[in-house]
Structure 1
Amino acid sequence: MSEELIRVLKMIESGVITSEEGQKLIQAMQKSEQKVARVNSHPIGRFLRLDILSTEEGEKETVQINFPLNLAKAVLKMGIVQKQLNAKVGENVNLDIEEILALIDSEVMGDLMTIDTKDAKIRIWID
């Protein structure tokens, strides 16, 4: 079983996403894998990466989320990244999903955005 599939199943099990969202995500992963196999000429491919570093005193939890770009579009549209942010940061940090999708389509590399809140530092980038 692929590592990505296991992550999706764990997210369903822990209640981060619903089973319906998990099913859509798995279907998107399957489509993405097929598309990558056909289209992607890069041996490794590009990833959307998200790091959340807790800034609460005494707590140094880091959350790292990495998605292949083809899958990242579906994940962003489904709101899974937004849910993860809200769950980990404890406050509403609203991402401009349309702007991130536009940056992905423009094939930009590097930092897309950094967000500092009272509870966490968030970095989103493509490499």
Structure 2
Amino acid sequence: MALLSQDKIIAGNQALEHYFSKSVVPQLYIDPKMTLKSFTAPAEDLFLISSEDIGKSIFGLQNKIKLNALIKSIRCVLLVEKTREKIINTSNGKLCKLIVQPYFDEQDERIMGVIVTFRNFTGQAEQ
């Protein structure tokens, strides 16, 4: 298997940074130690976070959702390595679909953490 060149790695990292800054979907990227690795800009609407929070524990995040449901879902996905979806309430009364997916190292297939996606569900639930 060929190794990626430094230029390809840099280009890949730049594309990923661009995605994080332009995404309209709130997402968190959390490692197995429950540390925030990255997030998309819309996640700032659900959590009072900034780039200074990268590398910190998610237990200290201030948020508009029930953190217990998030923590429980993350721990479950880290354990069973399967996607988990759940409807949760935000602190302002909106329904939100919480999707927690594992992500893996492609080389050795070990779990590297989870991707947490939040989707506004309030409008869909009312229909």
TM over 0.5: no
TM norm structure 1: 0.34
Larger RCO (alpha carbons 8 Å, 6+ apart)? 1
Could you state the TM-score of these two structures normalised by the residue count of structure 2?
Answer: 0.34
- Greater fraction helix: 1
Larger Rg over CA atoms: 2
